Amino acid sequence: MDVFQGLVQGFEVAFSMQGLLFVFIGVSTGTIIGMIPGLGPITAIAVMIPITYGMNPAIALLLMAGVYYGAAYGGAAASILLNAPGTSEATATTFDGYPLAKQGKAGKALAIAAIGSFVGGTISVIFLTLFAPLLANVAVSFGPPEYFALMLMGLMAIASLSEGSTIKALLSGVIGLMIATIGIDDQTGTPRFTFGTPHLMEGIDFIVIALGLFALAEVTSLILNRSAKLKDMKKIGSLKITKKEYKELAPTMGRQSVLGFLVGVLPGAGGTISSFLAYIFEKKISKNPEEFGKGSIKGVAAPETANNAANNGAFVPLLSLGIPGSGTTAVMLGALIVLGIQPGPLLMTDHTDVFWGVIASMYIGNVILLILNLPLIPYISRILLVPRPLLISLVIFFCIIGVYAVNFSTFHLYILLAFGIIGYVMRLIQFPAAPLLLAFILGSMMEQAFRQSLTISNGSLSIFVTSPVAAVLLFIAFLSLLVPIVKDFREKRKSTK
Amino acid sequence: MFNTTNKKVSIFLILLGIIYLILSFRLPKYAYVPVDSDLVPICLGVLLLILAGILYFTKDQEKKEDDERIPKKELPIVLGVIGLIVIYISLLEIIGFVLVSVLFLFFCSMFLGYKKYVINGIVSLVIPTFVYLLFDSFLQIQLPSGILPF
């Protein structure tokens, strides 16, 4: 089936009454969740998973796509209105978004963010449509050694690109892999690290870890800041963007859509890095760089366009290789698996409707986001007024439902609580949580690929070097580990001089 | 030996690695399996020990601006919320989802200082009931009904 036919099929699903309804629900819930500080796309998707049980996968995907875009936009809204970026991806948006809001131009900033997200999202989805099938064709020839090398590379990239100390990111990744070994071994049936309890036989579900490390851990900071007053929100201003401003913004949005997509395709980079890169890039080439940081409209458009484009770029490895490149796509992978869909090269041949359904739903999600959010800007800003104590209780409540509906046992709820505490401690000692979650999700796949490779080669590690693809990928993984070490070394030499 | 955060964390991780390794070596072995289930855990355990060793000799990072450490006077509140969650979890299957959720939402919000009891009551009643109905009739997922007859 060619690209065009597939897309038409996908749109048929998306344009049904039910399809449109669920995208609509998804976008609005996503926006609300995304605006709540600390709750970004990761949590929004995780919270939605139990709701999609038993739904038609194509429709569930539409809901997810809506939630995904909505949450990303919601995060931008919180950055602009409150200077409180819900997620790291929305951080760069605060640099100019919040100054604009303080000048009483919040409406304009929100409108630019919505349009930027739309442009970035749409252009990158077109790239995704073109490139994902190509990559999937290559991936069909991959065997266990190549897969193992690829996943290792993705993991290394995350560790070396994440903020802060590389060694901590690597440790976090190893612990994630260790947690993935809990439960019955898929190849020999040996129960590992279950401590004799039947509750651990099937291992720990990813949702327990995702909600614990991210949502519950955030609750602590919400509790500490529960009395923070919300001010500066009286005036929203006009949403109108003049023709002159459009002319000014068009090249920025065009450039950042392409750059953002390219950054997103790389495993480990994703929204955060692309939005910062976009901001720095636009500031560097701008004629008046001094405007940046004081309420430049380009300063809002650049990161918002780039991070949406990057988020779509991250879908290329997810859909074509079955390998998530970022924390958000990792959760998305979990969500797809819950729906009974295994992303990977075979997705395109075995489940054409689902594959193109995902892509079509991304087009639709983008459009709905724009239609829905522009007129609602004056209203959505009020949702931020939900009293914190109520918000905290509700977040805890939704985390508990999310986990209980997967396992139906209170045992896993205690584990959820434990991961919440671990997540908080990890923040205190500045251990990044994303590598842990990603490693956990990739863990069992990596172990299978590793052991299958060794079984094929009769126990010889040379199989990872004799396959040229695997060798190259492993070499890149090794290089990405060297980058931060070299950087550290250079900085040290600079400081001693 | 324990004077920096990195050193403390490193020692903890080394202990964790040792325990994990001991458990890995005690995994049963099979005669005719070329790659047994203990291989990967052993590799991971060793890797953890090496990395934790490196961490021991790494200097601490500078503190972030927004220190998230819990101030002393907030500690009872955080512990209180954890306590409420534990009570919630332990009563969930006994008293039932709706009742225990309503009570949790109401008391947790009140405990955190929310004083508008009427709004709190309405939200606490409506949301769990709505979620229960959504799961029960729409998604066909049975949440524990507990002592309520429906």
The residue type of A93 is T
Confidence of residue B23 (pLDDT cuts 50, 70, 90): very high
Q: Please give, rounded to a whole number of angstroms, the shortest distance from the CA of A59 to a CA of chain B.
A: 14
Nearest-CB residue to A455 (from B35, B109, B114): B35
Kindly identify which residue of chain A lies nearest to residue B79, measuring between CA atoms.
Answer: A220
What's residue A267's pLDDT? 65
Q: For residue A148, what are its two tokens?
A: 């193992």
8 A C-beta contact, residue B68 and residue B36: no
Q: What is the pLDDT of residue A232?
A: 46
User: What are the b/e assignments for A341-355, b being 16+ CB within 10 Å?
Assistant: bebbbebbeebeebb
**Which of A406-410, A446-450, B89-93 is least confident?**
A406-410
Q: Which tens digit of pLDDT belongs to each residue from A387-416?
A: 878 878 887 887 888 788 777 889 999 999
Do the chains contact at B86 and A167, CB–CB below 8 Å?
Answer: no
Q: Any CB–CB contact under 8 A between A309 and chain B?
A: no
DSSP letter for A408, please: -
In this prediction, residues A315-340 reach a mean pLDDT of 79
Contacts of A450 in chain B (CB under 8 A): 40
- Whether A413 contacts chain B with CB within 8 A: yes
Q: How far, in Å, are A54, A335, A477 from residue B145 at the CA level?
A: 21, 27, 51
Q: Give the model confidence (pLDDT) of A178-226 as tens digits.
A: 999 999 888 888 889 888 888 888 888 877 887 788 778 878 877 887 7
**Minimum CA–CA partner of B23 in chain A:** A193
How buried is residue A442: exposed, middle or buried, by Cβ count under 10 Å (0-12/13-18/19+)? buried
Nearest to B58 among A167, A192, A417 (CB): A167
**Would residue A241 count as lying in a domain?**
no
User: Is pLDDT of A146 > 90?
Assistant: no
The residues facing A183 across adjacent strands are A192
- Chains A–B, number of C-beta pairs less than 8 Å apart: 158
Residue from B89, B94, B119, B120 whose CB has the most chain A CBs within 10 Å, to mutate: B89
List, as ranges, residues 175-194 from A with C-beta within 8 Å of B: 175, 177-178, 181, 185, 187-188, 190, 192-193
pLDDT per residue as tens digits for the range A461-490: 888 888 888 898 899 888 877 877 776 677
B74-86 tens-digit pLDDT: 888 899 999 999 9
At A133, is the pLDDT very low, low, confident or very high (cuts 50, 70, 90)? confident
Amino acid letter, residue A189: G
Q: How far is CA A60 from CA A26, A53, A95, A354, A373, in A?
A: 10, 9, 35, 10, 21
**CB-based contact, A459 to chain B, within 8 Å:** yes
What is the pLDDT of chain A when averaged over all its residues? 81
Place of tokens 């979620």: B131
Which helix (H) or strand (E) is A372 found in, with range? helix A352-383
In whole angstroms, what is the distance from residue A26 CA to residue A61 CA? 10
* A37-55 per-position pLDDT tens digit: 556 777 788 777 777 777 7
Residue closest to B61 by CA, chosen among A431, A172, A436, A497: A431
- The structure tokens listed for A345 are 């090269």
Rounded to 5 degrees, what are φ and ψ at A452? -65, -40
Distance in Å, alpha carbon of A234 to nearest chain B alpha carbon: 23
Contact B71 A224 (CB under 8 A): yes
Between the alpha carbon of residue B144 and those of residues A50, A256, A313, the distances in Å are 16, 50, 41
* CB spacing of B81 vs A164 below 8 angstroms: no
- From B90's Cα to the closest Cα of chain A, the distance in A is 7
Average pLDDT over residues B118-144: 82
Token look-up 């990890």 returns A426
- Indicate the pLDDT class of residue A88, thresholds 50, 70 and 90: low
pLDDT band at B67 (very low <50, low <70, confident <90, very high): low
- Option in A181, A221, A394 nearest B41 (CB): A181
Is residue B11 very low, low, confident or very high in pLDDT (cuts 50, 70, 90)? very high
Establish if A232 belongs to a structural domain: no
* Alpha-carbon span A100 to A121, nearest angstrom: 23
Instruction: Give the distance, in angstroms, between the CA of residue A202 and the centroid of all CA atoms in the same chain.
Output: 26
Most A CBs within 10 Å, among B13, B25, B40, to test the A interface: B40
Beta carbons within 10 angstroms of residue B144's beta carbon: 19
Does the pTM exceed 0.80?
no
CA neighbor of A252 nearest in space, from A305, A312, A313: A305
Helix/strand/coil for A477: helix
Q: Write a three-state SS string for chain B.
A: CCCCHHHHHHHHHHHHHHHHHHHHHCCCCCCCCCCCCCHHHHHHHHHHHHHHHHHHCCCCCCCCCCCCCCCHHHHHHHHHHHHHHHHHHHHHHHHCHHHHHHHHHHHHHHHCCCCCHHHHHHHHHHHHHHHHHHHHHHCCCCCCCCCCCC
More confident residue, A174 or A97: A174
Please answer yes or no on whether A224 and B35 come within 8 Å at the CB atom: no
DSSP-assigned letter for residue A290: G
Question: Which residue is listed with tokens 């991210």?
Answer: A214
Q: Give A375's pLDDT tier (boundaries 50, 70, 90).
A: confident
Residue A292 pLDDT level (bands cut at 50, 70, 90): confident
Q: Does A20 touch chain B (CB under 8 A)?
A: no
**Total length of chain B:** 150
Task: Say what the pLDDT of residue A362 is.
Answer: 83
What distance in Å separates the CA atoms of residue A325 and residue A268, rounded to the nearest whole number? 5
Q: What is the pLDDT of residue B49?
A: 95
Give the H/E segment covering residue A64. Answer: helix A57-82
Average pLDDT (A342-363) is 78
Using DSSP, state whether A97 is helix, strand or coil. Answer: helix
Tokens of A489: 């070394």
Is residue A315 predicted with pLDDT exceeding 70? Answer: yes
pLDDT at A414: 94
With CA atoms as reference, report the closest residue to A146 among A350, A439, A452. Answer: A452
Q: What ipTM goes with this model?
A: 0.91
User: Domains in chain A: how many in total?
Assistant: 1
Interatomic CA distance for residues A53 and A60, integer angstroms: 9
Cβ <8 Å between B112 and A224: no
Confidence of residue B20 (pLDDT cuts 50, 70, 90): very high
pLDDT value, residue A221: 75
Q: How far is A196 from A322, CA to CA, in rounded Å?
A: 33
Does A347 have pLDDT greater than 60? Answer: yes
Domain membership of residue A233 (yes or no) is no
Region A353-360: mean pLDDT is 78
- Nearest Cα neighbor of A163 from A425, A443, A427, A492 is A427
The pLDDT-based confidence of B140 (bands split at 50, 70, 90) is: low
Residue ranges making up the domain that contains A194:
3-227+249-496
For range B21-26, the mean pLDDT: 92
A404 has a chain B CB within 8 A of its CB:
yes
With CA atoms as reference, report the closest residue to A276 among A304, A315, A311: A304
Per-residue model confidence (pLDDT) at position B87:
95
The pLDDT > 90 percentage for chain A reads: 8
Distance CA B17, CA B49 (A): 6
Asked if residue A209 lies in contact with residue A419, where contact means CB atoms within 8 angstroms, the answer is yes
Query: Is pLDDT of A337 > 70?
Result: yes
Backbone phi and psi for residue A184, each to the nearest 5 degrees, phi listed first: -75, 130
Contact B139 A54 (CB under 8 A): yes
- Interval A225-274: pLDDT, tens: 776 654 444 556 666 777 888 888 888 899 999 988 887 887 665 677 78
A235 in a domain, yes or no?
no
